[in-house]
């Protein structure tokens, strides 16, 4: 039986996150050809192992949006490849970027700036569109409650990984996921269930308080969270782990033995300094990092927006450090 108090807490969460959606369509312009993605097209709950990918829109010479039926839904995603990409020459890293609740793939593409980072650092970035849940909002099935969403997003990402490995020459140790808010929750769920995911990043997203995580292997984790976040509270709630609890889960799982905390420079001169908690000397050389940003709310962190750090740059540098080039 579902706890009514927990259900009420979740409804309050849905209300706040709908009003304060990650950065939000009100403050981020979307000039791309928009696709809703995640439209239910029937066919039951079957989850085919392969995608039937079709081009929707060519956005520019390096970027295009695609769709494929999967599990009864029409799923969509935007792919950006670096200049002069040739899958026959070398295997490049693949980074999934996941939007937050009520948001879209084009919106997070605009504000995360991963296209530019991918061009400079030579990797492929894929902005995946979530589906419409039982509350008529776009999002992901992160197992908050059964009534929230029953879409098998994990199976869809497994199919995406297979597709990109086959068509873009992606190696197993070069697959990553990062997301904002509920997209961060989804990245955590992928870390819990998908072996091919090397490392994940989360910005203001945590782990569901209802979900039991049994990772198939060790993962490196990077997490960013503001202490004034009222949408996904830094200290957790009935439905979500605290940021520190999520950090400690992965640190303990990987048997980390060295623990440090570094105070970062106050680059925005607001009188407060962010910090990073680092767990290292872990199994399989993984690293677990938690960036704590005092008095910051539910947002993607960018230097040009007045924050002490750029979460996009920090995420990529972290992922890059996890690639074995031997």
Q: What is the CATH number of the domain that holds 115?
A: 3.40.50.1820
Bridge partners (DSSP) of residue 67 are 54, 76
Does residue 148 fall inside a structural domain? yes
Does residue 193 fall inside a structural domain? yes
Comparing CA positions, the residue from 143, 167, 138 lying closest to residue 75 is 138
Q: What is the pLDDT of residues 300-322, one digit of tens each?
A: 999 889 898 999 999 999 999 99
Does residue 264 fall inside a structural domain? yes
The Cα–Cα gap between 43 and 25 comes to 31
Dmax (CA) of the chain: 56
Query: What's the whole-model pTM score?
Result: 0.88
Provide the pLDDT for residue 96. Answer: 98
Judging by DSSP bridges, how do beta strands 258-263 and 275-280 pair with one another?
antiparallel
Q: What is the pLDDT of residues 130-145, one digit of tens each?
A: 999 888 899 999 987 6
Comparing CA positions, the residue from 306, 314, 288 lying closest to residue 215 is 288
Mean pLDDT taken over the chain: 86
**Could you tell me the pLDDT band of residue 294, with boundaries at 50, 70 and 90?**
very high
Task: Calculate mean pLDDT across residues 164-190.
Answer: 94
Does residue 326 fall inside a structural domain? no
**Could you tell me the pLDDT band of residue 47, with boundaries at 50, 70 and 90?**
very low
**Residue 314 domain boundaries:** 4-321
**Could you tell me the pLDDT band of residue 146, with boundaries at 50, 70 and 90?**
low
Total structural domains within the chain: 1
Percentage of the chain lying above the pLDDT 90 cut? 69
Judging by DSSP bridges, how do beta strands 288-293 and 275-280 pair with one another?
antiparallel
> Which residue's structure tokens are 């979530």?
130
Judging by DSSP bridges, how do beta strands 199-203 and 220-226 pair with one another?
parallel
Q: Which residues contact 265 (CB under 8 A, 6 or more apart)?
A: 273, 308
Q: In 169-281, which residue ranges form alpha helices assigned H by DSSP?
A: 182-193, 243-253
């Amino acid at each position: 039986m579902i706890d009514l108090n927990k259900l009420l807490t979740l409804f309050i969460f849905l209300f706040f996150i709908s009003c304060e959606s990650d950065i939000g369509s009100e403050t981020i312009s979307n000039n791309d050809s928009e696709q809703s993605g995640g439209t239910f097209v029937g066919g039951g709950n079957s989850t085919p192992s392969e995608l039937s990918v079709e081009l929707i829109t060519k956005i520019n010479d390096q970027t295009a949006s695609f769709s494929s039926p999967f599990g009864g839904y029409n799923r969509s995603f935007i792919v950006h490849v670096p200049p002069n990409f040739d899958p026959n020459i070398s295997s490049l890293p693949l980074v999934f970027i996941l939007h937050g609740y009520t948001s879209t793939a084009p919106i997070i593409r605009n504000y995360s700036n991963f296209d530019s980072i991918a061009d400079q650092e030579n990797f492929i970035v894929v902005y995946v569109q979530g589906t419409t849940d039982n509350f008529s909002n776009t999002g992901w099935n992160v197992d908050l409650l059964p009534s929230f969403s029953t879409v098998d997003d994990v199976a869809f990402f497994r199919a995406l990984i297979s597709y990109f490995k086959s068509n873009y020459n992606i190696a197993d140790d070069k697959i990553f996921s990062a997301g904002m808010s509920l997209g961060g929750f989804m990245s955590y769920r992928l870390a819990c269930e998908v072996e091919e995911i090397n490392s994940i990043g989360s910005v203001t997203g945590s782990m569901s308080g209802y979900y039991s995580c049994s990772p198939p292997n060790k993962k490196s984790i990077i997490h960013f969270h503001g202490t004034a976040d009222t949408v996904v509270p830094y200290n957790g709630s009935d439905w979500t782990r605290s940021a520190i609890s999520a950090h400690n889960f992965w640190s303990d799982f990987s048997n980390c033995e060295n623990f440090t905390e570094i105070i970062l420079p106050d680059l925005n001169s607001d009188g407060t300094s962010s910090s990073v908690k680092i767990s290292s000397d872990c199994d399989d050389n993984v690293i677990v990092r938690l960036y704590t940003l005092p008095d910051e709310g539910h947002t993607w962190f960018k230097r040009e927006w007045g924050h002490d750090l750029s979460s996009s740059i920090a995420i990529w540098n972290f992922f890059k450090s996890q690639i074995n080039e031997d």
